[in-house]
């Protein structure tokens, strides 16, 4: 389904050539085929990673690579209670 989603994004990009398109995926989209799939310029894929993958970066692994970059911003939000989890405050950090 994720690869099909990339095809839909490519079609959307063809109809909106001046728009940058960023799709988001949860941990389920953290699959190799998504990362190596061809995408047109201006179509990006933001994935909530599930695996500490190897990277072509001096830190060598994803978690170390991400934490080595300076935060661009932070925010907090209230996460509501779920079936097995109490209400909590989540801190989000944006890094590039």
Query: What does the mean pLDDT of the chain come to?
Result: 87
Q: Where are the domains of the chain?
A: 2-51
Q: How sure is the predictor about 14, in pLDDT bands with cuts at 50, 70 and 90?
A: very high
Q: Residue 9, Cβ neighbours under 10 Å: how many?
A: 19
The yes-or-no verdict on residue 42 having pLDDT over 80 is yes
The yes-or-no verdict on residue 94 having pLDDT over 80 is yes
The yes-or-no verdict on residue 11 having pLDDT over 80 is yes
Average pLDDT score over residue span 31-59: 83
One DSSP character per residue, 47-79 reads E---S--B-SSTT-BHHHHHHTSPEEEEEEEEE
Residue 72: name the closest of 89, 96, 51 by CA.
96
Q: How sure is the predictor about 18, in pLDDT bands with cuts at 50, 70 and 90?
A: very high
Q: What is the pLDDT of residue 2?
A: 76
Angle at the Cα of 28 (from 94 to 61), degrees rounded to 5?
55
Tokens 């939000």 identify what position?
77
Q: Residue 29, Cβ neighbours under 10 Å: how many?
A: 20
């Amino acid at each position: 389904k994720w690869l099909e989603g990339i095809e839909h994004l490519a079609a959307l990009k063809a109809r909106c050539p001046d728009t940058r398109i960023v799709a988001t995926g949860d941990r389920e989209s953290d699959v190799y085929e998504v990362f190596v799939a061809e995408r047109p310029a201006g179509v990006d894929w933001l994935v909530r990673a599930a695996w500490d993958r190897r990277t072509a970066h001096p830190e060598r692994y994803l978690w170390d690579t991400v934490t080595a970059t300076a935060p661009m911003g932070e925010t907090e939000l209230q996460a509501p209670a779920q079936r097995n989890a109490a209400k909590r405050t989540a801190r989000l950090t944006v890094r590039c």
